[in-house]
Amino acid sequence: MEPKPIKGRFAPSPSGRMHLGNAWSALLAWLSVRSRGGTMVLRLEDLDPDRCKPSFCAGVEEDLQWLGLDWDEGGSAGGDTYYQSKRSDIYAAALEQLRKKDLLYPCYCTRGQLHAANAPHRSDGEVIYAGTCRNLTEEERREREKTRRPALRICVPEQEIRFTDRLQGEYAESLTQDCGDFILRRSDGVFAYQLAVVVDDALMGVTDVTRGSDLLSSTPRQIFLQQQLGYETPEYCHVPLLCAPDGRRLSKREADLTLAALRESGMQPETIVGRLAATAGLIDRPEAISVRELIPLFSLNRLPKEDIALRWEE
């Protein structure tokens, strides 16, 4: 059988302007795919109406293009299909598939109940759900429904999910001990990231998921959903997160390090790309270079596994 053509994706959440940390993961995702002759999709992960704005969607495209990171499919040219906020029917159909397998249940717990003092936590800091609402009777559900709209959770079985990450190597989690029953639709009706990302990666034919290592611990949940929905599992590569030269974690709140601000200050995209490439070990010194010139130099071998401080000095 012919191997599937390689397809990667940019999957930004448009909740702010892109900063250097986003540019770093976008560059590595693009290089991972382009260096193997694959294609890229741009999908806007704008599920959360409180955090995502259309102007940030346009900003993402502008910033990626400015860096020279192109895509073959999606973004505004692809229309509604590539905006998660427009794909509710598709996620609802996937939920229905899981409901028919009797895997879902409504959860009425409040934030306060979830974050009880003794609640165990996952490695990413989220609470491992105690299963409080798993076995409610129909009557108990009806009673709680009167005062609270439920979230929907998926029941996880006693199963270990194991996969080999292209950078991090073997990674395994026990679904019950490390993860717990997780939410697929929030109580306000918004579909959860875990569901949307799995459905979209599968339906869009994504074979290569290169993204920040903050999502490594989401991957077992995503593989479990792929198994339940009958999808293939793509290849994963979790790259270290980029920290500012002084070691602090970059976030969208740091306006000084957005690409828009750096562009305003007169910086050239090749300067930024050169600094990112030197940080990734692709070139020896942080000198200006275009993303295209980096394609033949790309290799995961010199990339560290742990979070890494940006090489910003000349």
Q: Which residues bind ligand GLU (CB under 6 A)?
A: 11-13, 45, 197, 211, 215
CB of 166 to ligand GLU, least distance (A): 14
CB of 22 to ligand GLU, least distance (A): 7
Run of H or E residues at 75: none
Residue 203 DSSP class: H
Whichever of 26 and 283 has its CB closer to ligand GLU, that residue is: 26
Whichever of 46 and 181 has its CB closer to ligand GLU, that residue is: 46
CB of 41 to ligand GLU, least distance (A): 12
Answer yes or no: are the C-beta atoms of 262 and 274 closer than 8 Å. no
Nearest-angstrom CA–CA distance, 28 and 273? 11
| Residue 41 β-bridge partners | 9, 73
Give the Cβ contact number of residue 300 at 10 Å: 16
- Helix, strand or coil, per DSSP, at residue 94: helix
Nearest-angstrom CA–CA distance, 283 and 272? 13
Q: List the one residue out of 97, 99, 107 whose CA is nearest residue 129.
A: 107
Q: Is 100 a catalytic residue?
A: no
Set 7, 100, 146, 252: catalytic member: 252
Residue 190 DSSP class: P
CB of 14 to ligand GLU, least distance (A): 9
Query: Residue 134 corresponds to which tokens in the numbers above?
Result: 């798993």
Query: Residue 249 corresponds to which tokens in the numbers above?
Result: 């974690």
CB of 305 to ligand GLU, least distance (A): 18
Whichever of 12 and 75 has its CB closer to ligand GLU, that residue is: 12
Cβ density class 226-247: b for 16+ within 10 Å, e for less: bebeebebbbbbbbbbbbbeee
CA 242 to chain centre: 15
- Helix, strand or coil, per DSSP, at residue 179: helix
CB of 12 to ligand GLU, least distance (A): 5
Whichever of 11 and 175 has its CB closer to ligand GLU, that residue is: 11
Whichever of 52 and 283 has its CB closer to ligand GLU, that residue is: 52
Whichever of 195 and 278 has its CB closer to ligand GLU, that residue is: 195
Q: List the one residue out of 293, 63, 91, 272 whose CA is nearest residue 194.
A: 91
DSSP string, 90-130: HHHHHHHHHHHTT-EEEE---HHHHT-TT--B-TTSPBPP-
Residues annotated catalytic, as ranges: 252
